[in-house]
Structure 1
Amino acid sequence: MSRVFPGSRSILMASAAALVLSTPPAIAQRGPDAPLPPVTVQAPDQAARSAARPRPRRAGSGTRVVRASMRGVAAATSVAGGPATPQGASGPPSLTVPTTAQARQEIQRTPGAVALVPDTEFKNSPANTIKDALGWVPGVLIQTRWGPDGRVSIRGSGLSRAYGNRGINPYMDGIPINTADGLFDLFEIDPTAYRYIEVYKGANALRFGANSLGGAINFVMPTGRDSPEFEARVDGGSFRYLKSATSTGGAVGPFDWYMTMSAQREDGYREHSKTESERLNANFGYQFSPDAETRFYLNVGRWRSEIPGEVTKDAALTSPRAANPVWVQQDQQRNIDSVRVANKTTLRFGETTVDFGAFVLERHVMHPIYQWLDFHVHDYGGFARATDDRLIGGFRNRLVTGVNIQSGTIDINQYWNVGAAVKGPLAASYLWKSQNVSAYGENSLFVLPNVALVTGATFLHAVRDQQDRYFANGDQSGRRSYDPFSPKIGLLWDVDSTWQVFGNISRSAEVPTYDVTTFASPASTNINAQTATTYEIGTRGRRPDLTWDVALYRADIRNELQCLTSPATPGACTIRNADRTVHQGVEAGLGVAFLTSSFAQDDRFWFNVAYTYSDFRFDGDPTWGNNRLPAVPAHYLRAEVLYKHLSGFYAGPNVEWMPQAFFADNANTLTVDSYALLNFKLGYDRGTGWSGYIEGRNLLDKRYVSTAIAVETATAASALFNPGIGRAVYVGMRTRW
């Protein structure tokens, strides 16, 4: 490594501690409830026949899925006594959408940090934001702004984003949901709609052709073949939060369907932060034969939201419920209507499986901020992926190849906001066009029955074209193309059927998004793609009363895309390339059972912890030296002690702790203070029939800053901060059959 940073000693100490915690006990233990998928050489035609054969099933019975013993850990698996989601429909399993168990086996073939979070981990909660679903995944940092909006970052992706998200490829059932230039919104994410969520950190998302520093998140809906016939829920809580959702699914012969609808509203913790949303998510599948299936998707969403705006640090801590008065005077809002239609088809030819499909997205955004933004998004694209698993020269070989095409336009008009969200004169007008074509491949050669050598690469051709239609400030039209190539090599070792060791070296690249003026001046026209070389090692596994997932990584980054806010235009930011930066850290999860059979046979207490260490710095920058990068805490920990009873009852406290302050600016002059939040939950869930929960958050009513936008140099008067939510209580009930 080219340079030793002041944080290197800390990362080594944290790494050593995490590895000690993750080491399996030396004493013999009984077999695991659900072992890791063994890496064995099996004749591919035998495997295909076995997968195609429908499993016998008793009419009306549900497959018992036991709750993950540790939250947010890819290797987390079932322990007796947790709530479950019924698998409600009969017939052969879906080809286009893997079940939770199938997806877990598939994801654990990745020689790097990944996670699969089943719905049993987030549906017994308010299920309002993406933090409710992924807040326990080590390495995934979710900082709320207001309502359901927030910054999502993996390994420092999109670290300085003032709004929106970048640096992660989001998918819904393997189909992109970001705009063609790479930006994505969180409002379309409805945690009540998904069977499970997959997280692929960094280049471990190569299976989708994703090529960003943060990797990919895939939200997977149930199908009519693994969902209850009917489900309904209602949630309510503090700040007049109310959400209702219903779903239905089923299968008749080769046809199956699943549909869920939800509506929610919330006045918000802060002034001027009311939100309302309605969402419809549905899929319809048809199985032509045991080896051919097609599935259509429909996603419709409506979101209306007020924006309270950032405030000074002092205001955030002394008057956390107050909005920025300028935002209130301008009545700043974010209102979105969207419709997405997609198709995915899966064909199986012996040892080879082919997936292909297409999608189209229409989105209208009405967004009065300091200007009144009115734009229409039209995105469309297609994908094809082939997976071949066979013996070559006596060695098992698994090859995945694919191509993705995503194009789109954003037709945007910007007006002056003359007050109270009233359109004034036209300020700018553009037509943005994005084109992306990527080809990728990943090959796993099993050099030993339990050791796979994984190599891969992706090539991206991206075009960003801006047509200026308003020339009062000069013609700002421009066009630029990018052609990054990113290779990868890794190793996956199944030490035994309960734990794995992995490592990889990979490259990644990210092209600038259109949410800033990319061609306004020669300086912004010359914004380069961000590239990174990442080194990673780790281990994951599970025993009956122990689960662990630990990854250590270091990313050497060139031209990191920083979104820096200017005091002159609050709410907007300018993209700049940092020269050299380093992101290195530890992602560790641990679950340990103790005090088993305390009050009843086979009940137990679980200690669960998710810890993220982030040492992100400039690397000898001419201006900032080796300063820390802003907007991210060095240490972030969530931990809980949870009692589980076989009846379905569970209860326990948990904490969210940021033990060290972090900076809000490149100059490292203004900090965000440390904090600790105390929470408690209890509930009942047998997996069928009714279930319910009550959850208290920030019970001590701690005042803290949840997120900060980044600037070059901050002062005490800089309005950069969003206050965290105060004391809140939520309750909910659900029924299904």
Structure 2
Amino acid sequence: MISLRFAAAVLAAAFPSLALAQADTARVQPLDTVTVQALGSPIPALRAPFPVSVVRGAEIRQARAGLALSDALSAIPGVQVDNRFNYAVGERISIRGFGARAQFGVRGVRVLVDGIPATLPDGQTTLNHVDPAALERAEVIRGPASALYGNASGGVIRLTSIPAPDAPLATEHRVVGGSDGLLRLESSAGGRSGSATYRAWASRLRYDGYRRHADADNLLGGGSVGWTRGADELGATVNFVRYEARNPGSLSDSLLRVDRSQAFARNVEQRTGEEGRQAQLGLSWRRTMGAGALDVSAYGVGRSLDNPIPTNIIDLSRRVLGGRAAWTGGAGPLRWTAGAEGARQADERRTFGNQAGERGAAALDQRERVGFASAFAQGTAALGRLQLLGALRYDRFRFSVDDRLVAADNPNDSGGRTLSALSPALGVSVAVMRDVSLYANVATAFETPTTTELANRPSGAGGFNPELDAQRTTSLEVGGKARLAAWAWVEAAAYHARVRDALIPFEVEGAPGRVFYRNAGRARHRGVESSLILSPRPGWTARAAYTWTDARFGRYVVGDADRAGTRVPGIAPHRVEASLLASPARGPFAGIDARYVSATPVADADREGRLASPAYALLDARVGWEGAARGRVSPFIGVTNLLDREYNTSVVVNAFGGRYYEPGPGRALITGLRLSFRR
């Protein structure tokens, strides 16, 4: 009831402000024209038999600092984004509870950026190279989608960068400053010339952090070129990142009461953090042939990092090569896609003892390889009031490790693992009225352990953990979507997912701060999601979303303890989010974001439900001025955590010593100026 009252208060305060809108030449922004691409074939959002949410343009970027992907994924039902304000470990993103186990990076959720997988073959995702301020569109499949995307597809996020401007040359420059030593500089330039397009961008972030030992220095850049000639479209994208960040670690409840801004003392002593570099290149070719098209793409990633944690220093070098080919055809109301893809990941991993931030004796030295190959087919059919979508995919993964640290007292732990999965999905949507549709689907997902999770063995041995298996999910869902008016959209969904061999993180006494993994026998996730979107004028958007997630273990025994029935930690049962953006083409604009998160369980051994991160409610606000169409000067100012609430932005699941909590910052000021020119 608390969450519903909070949502009602936010909406009551937000929607009357729409009356302040200035008149515009267009009366409404028709929401039914939204077409989703994430399902593999363009389908109107109203007719899609799976839940897909879309966020676009100003909602992502307008007067925001560009610090995290929470800007692009706010007020989407079923999506939980925990911005830890810690660039050494990144955000935690979960969809319907999948991904909540991640202690760094993203797990269980597949992410693509401009068509290039940010999720590696082994299922782990790092998003250091993604600049939220450079994004134009985010699409989210809420729920299992391995039939469409393969490994780690408990949910899917497709991010699209700002396209090349429709002008010979356009540039944009932005400076943002704020509390906690925030300074961010951005520049971009792009344009079109005949059949060619181009865009390049760069940004620099300096941030001292709300907590001690939490500073960051990130340099990002990228670019894209495109060329069209006749039936052929060619494209290339490149991006890079160099980052340096320190990790303050999590805190216990007693430490929070002393000082919420402190770093854990051992993290400071051991100089924990991460320094990394990554470069990525993607190439694409599309050829239209009659009613069909051939799409071919290839990508390469190079990454290196130095990662001191409290017990060890991890030195990792990674190379990834991958490609995809698909043929899309159609006849009448039928369309189909068939193809294959594969990738190979090569890691050189070395681990040393951490001696006050300096490398000690070698503890691990191994070469790790992951390769996968897959074949897939998908079909859609629009048959009167019915919209059908079916998909089938087969994936085969080969993990291998070559242990190079072998001695008389340290046996050779080289070996390999082969994992495979057949992933079907089927969905149907029925237009019961012109502007109302009901849908149902059954979908599957699988998730292999990542190389990091396989390599972290509680025994301290090298090689891969032979007891860790892939997580598999089957989900059943029903829902409905309705266009209440040309500018009003509402949807609701209910689902039940069964998870086998759920991957669960834990820590041990001998290695605090280092995370290990085990499989729970069974778990089930069930929930209800609802959302409302209003867009009465171009540039004016109000969103509200409510999520209820009940994730519990069904069969889970650790030693002599039976943990069946306990909640899966890291997942907030209730979330309410609302946002309002009034952003006309010229003149003043304003935005407000509100969020309520219920108490979040932190340990799977907590049968009584007494260990939880407390519930919290946050309010952010931003205002500014949008300049003229040419030579724009656009100042803005914003305040996050306007009411200065104390809250924990994230939790560390099953942390040793009760250090479950990662505190969020108090009230913070953000101010900036954007200059844009067009010729």
TM-score, normalisation: structure 1: 0.81
1-structure distance, mates of 2:660, 2:619: 25
Alignment of 1:425 onto 2:375? no
CA displacement 1:621-669 (0-9 Å, x = unmatched):
4411211111111001122455566754333544221234534333344
- 1:413 matched to 2:350: yes
Q: Counterpart in 2 of 1:586?
A: 528
Q: What is the alpha-carbon distance in structure 2 between the residues aligned to residue 210 and residue 108 of structure 1? A: 25
- Distance change in 2, residues 1:488/1:171 (3 Å): same
The answer to whether the aligner puts 1:635 opposite 2:574 as a matched pair is yes
Aligned match of 1:34 = 30
**2:306 matched to which residue of 1?**
366
Cα 1:471–1:687, aligned 2, differ >3 Å: closer, same or farther? farther
391, 413, 430: which is aligned to 1:456?
A: 391
Which residue is 1:443 aligned to? 379
Unaligned runs of 5+ in 2: 9-25
Deviation at 1:516, TM superposition (A): 2.5
Q: Distance in 2 between matches of 1:220 and 1:103?
A: 16
Letter in 1 for 2:243: W
Point out the structure with the larger strand share. 2
Distance between the aligned counterparts of 1:702 and 1:523, measured in 2?
43
When residues 277 and 644 of structure 1 are mapped into structure 2, their CA distance, relative to the original with a 3 A threshold, is: closer
| Residues 69-80 of structure 1: pairs in structure 2 closer than 5 A | none
Give the structure 2 partner of residue 702 of structure 1. 645
Q: Partner amino acid for 1:685?
A: E
Q: Percent identity?
A: 25
**1:724 Cα deviation from its structure 2 partner:** 1.1
Amino acid at match of 1:295: G
Distance 2:46 2:291 in 1: 20
Q: Structure 1 residue 317: deviation in Å?
A: 4.5
Alignment root-mean-square deviation, CA: 3.0
2:271 to 310, 331, 336: 331
Aligned-partner SS, 1:122: helix
Q: Aligned residue for 2:111?
A: 170
Partner AA of 2:596 in structure 1: W
Q: Deviation of residue 240 (structure 1)?
A: 1.1
1:183-215 CA distances to partner (integer Å, 9 max, x unpaired)? 1112111012222122122334744x3353522
SS of 1:328's equivalent in the other structure is: helix
Taking the aligned partners of 2:349 and 2:190, their CA distance within structure 1 comes to: 39
Q: 1:550 aligns with which of 489, 492, 495?
A: 492
Deviations 1:271-311 (A, max 9, x none): 0000011111111112121x211111111110100110111
Match of 2:15 in 1: none
> Is 1:111 aligned to residue 49 of structure 2?
yes
* CA 607–245 in structure 1, closer or farther in 2 if over 3 Å, else same: closer
Correspondence list, 1:84-123, <5 A: 110-123=48-61
- SS of 1:236's partner is strand
Which residue of the partner structure matches residue 141 of structure 1? 80
Counterparts of 1:323 and 1:674 in 2: how far apart (Å)?
A: 22
Q: State the Cα deviation string for residues 340-397 of structure 1 (Å, max 9, x = none).
A: 1110111111111221111111101111112111111000010012221222xxxx10
Cα pair distance change 1:625/1:510, threshold 3 Å: same
* 1:596-607 alignment runs, 5 A limit: none
Matches within 5 A, 1:194-209: 194-204=135-145, 206-207=147-148, 209=149
Letter in 1 for 2:92: R
- Alignment-derived partner of residue 441 in structure 2: 504
Unaligned runs of 5+ in 1: 1-9, 18-29, 38-73, 77-97, 597-601
The answer as to whether partners of 2:344 and 2:370 remain within 8 angstroms in 1 is yes
Task: Tell me if the contact between 1:32 and 1:498 (Cα under 8 Å) persists in the aligned partners.
Answer: no
Is the aligned partner of 1:674 residue 2:611?
no
Cα deviation for residue 264 of structure 1 reads 0.8
Q: Is the 8 A contact 2:478 2:493 kept in 1?
A: yes
Match of 1:311 among 251, 254, 268: 251
Q: Which amino acid aligns with 2:239?
A: N
Is residue 447–residue 470 contact of structure 2 (8 Å, CA) maintained in 1? yes
Alpha-carbon separation, structure 1, partners of 2:489 and 2:254: 42
Deviation at 1:603, TM superposition (A): 11
Instruction: Give 1:157 deviation, angstroms.
Output: 1.6
Indicate which of 95, 113, 127 corresponds to 2:66: 127
Distance 1:431 1:619, change over 3 A: same
Whether the aligned pair in 2 keeps the contact of 1:408 and 1:433 (CA below 8 Å) is yes
- Provide the aligned length of Structure 1 versus Structure 2: 636
Task: Report the alpha carbon displacement of residue 337 of structure 1 after superposing the two structures with TM.
Answer: 0.5
Asked whether the equivalents of residues 151 and 448 of structure 2 are also in contact (C-alpha less than 8 Å), the reply is no
Deviations 1:232-266 (A, max 9, x none): 11111111111111111112222221111111110
CA distance in 2, matches of 1:653, 1:131: 14
Conserved 8 A contact 1:75-1:115 = no
Task: State the partner residue of 1:475.
Answer: 412
| Correspondences of 1:615-626 after superposition (within 5 Å) | 615-622=550-557, 623-626=562-565
The answer on whether the counterparts of 1:159 and 1:562 sit within 8 Å (CA) in structure 2 is: no
The answer on 1:613 being equivalent to 2:609 is no
Give the 3 Å change call, closer, same or farther, for CA 385–313 of structure 1 in structure 2: farther
Is the alpha carbon distance of 1:572 and 1:461 closer, same or farther for their aligned partners in structure 2, counting shifts above 3 Å? same
Per the TM alignment, residue 564 of structure 1 is displaced from its structure 2 partner at its CA by 1.7
Amino acid at match of 1:626: G
Q: 1:519·1:525 contact (CA, 8 Å) conserved in 2?
A: no
> In the TM superposition, what are the counterparts of 1:16-55 in structure 2 within 5 Å?
33-34=29-30, 36=32
Distance 1:605 1:132 in 2: 17
Contact 1:166 1:182 in 2 (8 A): yes
1:562: Cα distance to partner?
Answer: 1.1
Residue 71 of structure 2 aligns to a residue whose secondary structure is: helix
Question: Taking structure 2 as the reference length, what is the TM-score of the superposition?
Answer: 0.87
Match for 2:60: what amino acid?
Answer: F
